[in-house]
Amino acid sequence: METTFIIRENELNDDFLSALKKLFKYKSQLQITVTASEDFNLMKPESPDQYIARLEKCLAEIKKPEFRISITDEQLDEMIFEKI
């Protein structure tokens, strides 16, 4: 599993680390790379309307067919049994 987080410096706290631990709790080893980035406009103020528009755009993106994952009941059972 691989994921990218784009966060502000003040969000790098115990809550974030706890969430990271939960997300990767079944992995025995992690590789963490930290890169300073200025090109995501995280520090730019955003109005409530801009925030909602951004969230709606993200929601539309994840609803695209290429982001769908389908599994059978048997595959789900197998995944669950692997974890217990």
Q: How much is the average pLDDT of 9-37? A: 88
Q: Where are the domains of the chain?
A: 9-83
Helix (H, G, I), strand (E, B) or coil at 25: coil
pLDDT in the model for residue 63:
87
Entry pTM: 0.43
Residue 56's pLDDT is 94
What DSSP designation does 47 have?
-
Tokens of residue 26, six digits: 């079944």
pLDDT (mean) for 47-67: 89
Percent of the chain with pLDDT over 90: 24
Tokens 């980035």 label which residue?
Answer: 37
